[in-house]
Structure 1
Amino acid sequence: MATRVLQRVGRGLKETKRGLRASGQPTLTARSLAAFREDSWFKSLFVRKVDPRKDAHSHLLAKKEDNNLYKIQFHNVKPECLEAYNELWYEGVLPSIHEDPEYPCELVGTWNTWYGEQDQAVHLWRYRGGYPALTEVMNKLRQNKGFMDYRSERGKMLLSRRNQLLLEFSFWNEPAPRPGPNIYELRSYQLRPGTMIEWGNYWARAIEIRQQNQEAVGGFFSQIGSLYTVHHLWAYKDLQSRENIRNAAWQREGWDKIVYYTVPLIQHMESRIMIPMKTSPLQ
């Protein structure tokens, strides 16, 4: 059976080759095969061969020197309530919780979306200590009457909310407070299942190209929530600076090839331009 299938495939290839010759179209030559092999060899420089049965992707891609877990929240606010929502954030119980050492969590950044999905707030927290730290904070918040009152009042202002738990890529810098004024871009990628290792290997090189203007803030991949999701967070002085920096990347060696090989890994992508709220450590 297998032999007959191979024979039919061989005959089909010969017929195709004869047809190409008759039509004047180029056929596979030694030179084209060599070019194909060279292209495959070049791709192998980027892609690290990993057997997923031997280790979890999170262990291969995340930082090992710390135990940070991140939570990102997206709040879609009723348009008429956005100003009141921001004021409640500033004046409510959250600033005191963020400063309380009894809560093992840090506010990394908090923004309103400027371009992208409108009337939206985005919040990013870091939990030093991983899942136990997250569990400890959640348990304490349930016992905090001030927070529960704040949550009840906030709920009246929201249309929807969602969150994800994230790990940070080992090759990105850890997000650190920075002075402003800046705008921030959150680029979110939904990858094809099974391609996270490839993405990490390509971007381990790509980030070296994109660090030259210090615009890279943080890179994360999801663990709980929408899976095979990647978030890249960038900071720019303004929209024109963003345009100039992104265009300049195309002039650097290797950037075009990285884009060429990563685009097929993406199912969906989204860009948000965000403005920091006044209590955000990332300004």
Structure 2
Amino acid sequence: MATRVLQSSCSGLHQAKHGHLTAVIRGLSASNNRNREDSWFKSLFVRKVDPRKDAHSHLLAKKEDNNLYKIQFHNVKPECLEAYNKLCDEVLPSIHSDRSYPCELVGTWNTWYGEQDQAVHLWRYRGGYPALTEVMNKLKNNKEFLEYRNERGKMLLSRRNQLLLEFSFWNEPVPRDGPNIYELRSYQLRPGTMIEWGNYWARAISYRQHNREAVGGFFSQIGNLYMVHHLWAYKDLQSREHTRNAAWQHEGWDEVVYYTVPLIQHMDSRIMIPLKASPLQ
């Protein structure tokens, strides 16, 4: 009788300990799950940024030269687009070819698909900000340019521009024979993600060189900040589709897309046709 009571007591004690241990384990598991959920939830809103000892412009831009780029977006009155294009073809090449101006016209286009009745101009200033300032001062005394600017102003609905640097891992845009169409893909990145974007695209650009479609890659310094522009050239829309689809056949391209898409706040694509004066044809 006493033996049975003792066994029953030991069994109850064992069950109690087991129940307590199970409760502790469940509590720890629930706590760990909550911690993981909290960590995941916080990651949606908080991005850890590694401390840097230099500006991202110094880390991402080319070191061997000191080029500064300006991109201009002109929204033209629909009825004035033909006259606007003619005016640009007459005046812009004279600035481009004048050796006393440390600037070059990289390309000039009309938007075909995207924002309609729009002109896009891309300039390069060899020598950085001092070259930009020199050109601006000289243009103040250029009668032909002042007349051009006055006539141009009558044709525009709005205009905006940005100053850009080029990514070190992209080729410098050089004149190209045509006919080609050009795609300008513009990305508004989340603040603090430019280095991360550059790290991924330094590898990604190798997947997009097979058909010479990569023309230039830039990031903004003045204007809309954390803005990236990628410029591509294709023979036509069909070759664009073929080239873009072919990138997915390269191992690693899917990973680049997967990790860079979350860095983007907004993106835009323009299909553009070069004007006669454009060195990029």
* Shared fold, TM over 0.5: yes
CA distance in 1 between counterparts of 2:56 and 2:277 reads 34
Aligned residues: 244
Q: In the TM superposition, what whole-angstrom CA distance separates every residue of 1:191-246 from its partner, at most 9, and x where no partner exists? A: 00000000000000000111111100000000000000000000000000000000
CA distance in 2 between counterparts of 1:236 and 1:172 reads 17
CA distance in 2 between counterparts of 1:171 and 1:235 reads 17
CA distance in 2 between counterparts of 1:162 and 1:141 reads 19
Find 1:263's aligned residue among 261, 264, 267. 261
| One-letter amino acid of the counterpart of residue 15, structure 1 | A
CA distance in 1 between counterparts of 2:97 and 2:138 reads 14
Q: Is the 8 A contact 2:92 2:277 kept in 1?
A: no
Shift in CA distance, 148/254, structure 1 to aligned 2, threshold 3 Å? same
| One-letter amino acid of the counterpart of residue 70, structure 2 | K
| One-letter amino acid of the counterpart of residue 59, structure 1 | H
Equivalent residue runs for 1:1-283 within 5 Å: 14-15=29-30, 51-52=51-52, 54-91=53-90, 93-283=91-281
RMSD (Å) for aligned C-alpha atoms: 1.9
The DSSP-based 3-state class of the residue aligned with 2:187 is strand
CA distance in 2 between counterparts of 1:97 and 1:18 reads 65
The DSSP-based 3-state class of the residue aligned with 2:121 is strand
Q: Is the 8 A contact 2:105 2:278 kept in 1?
A: yes
The alpha-carbon deviation at position 90 of structure 1 amounts to 1.5
The DSSP-based 3-state class of the residue aligned with 2:106 is strand
Q: What 5-or-longer segments of structure 1 have no aligned partner?
A: 1-9, 20-27, 29-48
CA distance in 2 between counterparts of 1:18 and 1:250 reads 36
CA distance in 1 between counterparts of 2:50 and 2:179 reads 42
Higher mean Cα deviation, 136-145 or 185-194?
A: 136-145
Shift in CA distance, 209/142, structure 1 to aligned 2, threshold 3 Å? same
Please give the TM-score of this superposition, normalised by the length of structure 1.
0.83
The DSSP-based 3-state class of the residue aligned with 1:86 is helix
CA distance in 2 between counterparts of 1:272 and 1:90 reads 21
Percent identity, please.
84
Please give the TM-score of this superposition, normalised by the length of structure 2.
0.84
| One-letter amino acid of the counterpart of residue 71, structure 2 | I
Q: Which residue of 2 aligns with 1:44?
A: none
Q: What 5-or-longer segments of structure 2 have no aligned partner?
A: 1-24, 37-48
Q: Is the 8 A contact 2:76 2:117 kept in 1?
A: yes
The DSSP-based 3-state class of the residue aligned with 1:214 is coil
| One-letter amino acid of the counterpart of residue 167, structure 1 | L
